[in-house]
Structure 1
Amino acid sequence: MDELREKCIHQTIQLCSSQGLDFTMSQLAAKLGISKKTLYVLFESKEALLLEVVNYMFDGVKASEAELLARQDLDLAEKLCRLVVVMPDSYKTLDWRRLQGVEEKYPVVYRQIRQRLESGWEPTLELLRQGMAEGVLRPFEPGLLRAIVEGTIEHLLASDALEREGLDYVQALDGMMDLLMDGIRKREEEK
């Protein structure tokens, strides 16, 4: 990826975090110090730009996932907790609530998000199976956990749940993993 395209993507991520999906290509061009025409040479439309941003972000998630899988300092349970909700540190500061409504405004972009969210689960599923085989996890259907995680993330992006609950995206994902790993039953030490 050339340097200007990458700058466009990074600036788009910042605009999405501050303004949501309502930013204009003119605003983006002004932030970058380039003409709108130059921007349209790089990306034929705002939708094409957003599709590239989605792919860039998911590629970053996959790179973080690979780093996490290679770590030897984490036990299996900790690795699983982190793996399911892994994202690069730079994405944790984004205001994901601003992306609410992507399904309605940019259905093609939303389909790409769903496709990327629903693919590439093999390393995580394998680690879940390993956890069951080693007795770290009780037996369950890994595909069900996958469906719960996918459904939760899709819901968080498509609704006002984050704002309604007063959570940021990272808090919501961490809370989901806590519920998935430990359940809602009161722990012995809390009784």
Structure 2
Amino acid sequence: MENNQSPVEIRERLLHTALLAFNEKGAKFTLEDISRTLNISKKTIYTVFSGKKELIEEMIDEGFREVKEEESYIVADTRLNTLEKIRKMVIVIPERYQAMDFRKFATLKESYPELYQRIEEQIEREWDLTIELLEKGMEEGVLRRFSIPVFKIMIEATMERLLERDEREGFEYMEALEEMMDIVIKGIETKGGEKEGKD
């Protein structure tokens, strides 16, 4: 790996392996776990990342960059009506993160509280595309008039609470997001909204 791959390829493999290790152990995974899995030296890891904290930070940022890409695809998808776009936009999870045990992110609160705060900040920012869709839904008459700031706060608070939940609560993160959106959409759509929202 060290001799045959470019720095970009090494970085991508490190991020992918860190994601798998984090999914298994949360913040308790070690750089030794990464080096052993990839059969490389820790020295090689340090040529790309200054340490575990930076590796996790980049893993988080990469995930949210992929979320933004997915959101752009959703907005441009002419097969989806406005309500369908809103549903997908609010709970979008990139494909390689869909099998993630999101409860593991709670392990960051103790070890790397600033990184956990970074996740919360990411959840709370860059709502512009979603807000545009909500406003479009109101204009089309498929959504009733409601307070978008209140909607935003409700979604953010639910997502953040789901990250902190106890694993004994018996539901998966993606399932919980889907259920949340069922409840939310039923509360904001007008009667017959699904049909009226077709592009």
Structure 2 residue 139 is matched with structure 1 residue 133: yes
- TM (norm. structure 2) is 0.86
1:93 Cα shift? Answer: 1.1
Q: What is the SS of the residue equivalent to 2:47?
A: helix
Choose the corresponding residue for 2:183, options 155, 179, 183.
179
Contact 2:106 2:116 in 1 (8 A): no
- Flag structure 1 segments of 5+ consecutive residues without an equivalent: 184-191
Contact 2:18 2:34 in 1 (8 A): yes
Q: What is the SS of the residue equivalent to 2:136?
A: helix
- TM (norm. structure 1) is 0.89
Structure 2 residue 106 is matched with structure 1 residue 100: yes
Runs of 4+ aligned structure 1 residues displaced above 3 Å come to none
Alignment deviations for residues 24-58 of structure 1 (CA, whole Å, 9 cap, x no partner)? 11111111111112212211121111110011000
Aligned AA (2:108)? V
1:60 Cα shift? Answer: 0.7
RMSD value, Cα: 1.4
**Mapping of 1:6-85 within 5 angstroms?**
6-85=12-91
Q: What is the SS of the residue equivalent to 1:178?
A: helix
Contact 1:65 1:87 in 2 (8 A): no
Paired with 1:50 and 1:83, the residues of 2 have a C-alpha distance of 25
Partner in structure 2 of residue 155 of structure 1: 161
Question: Percent of pairs identical after alignment?
Answer: 38
Contact 1:21 1:98 in 2 (8 A): yes
Paired with 1:97 and 1:181, the residues of 2 have a C-alpha distance of 25
Q: What is the SS of the residue equivalent to 2:143?
A: coil
Aligned AA (1:34)? I
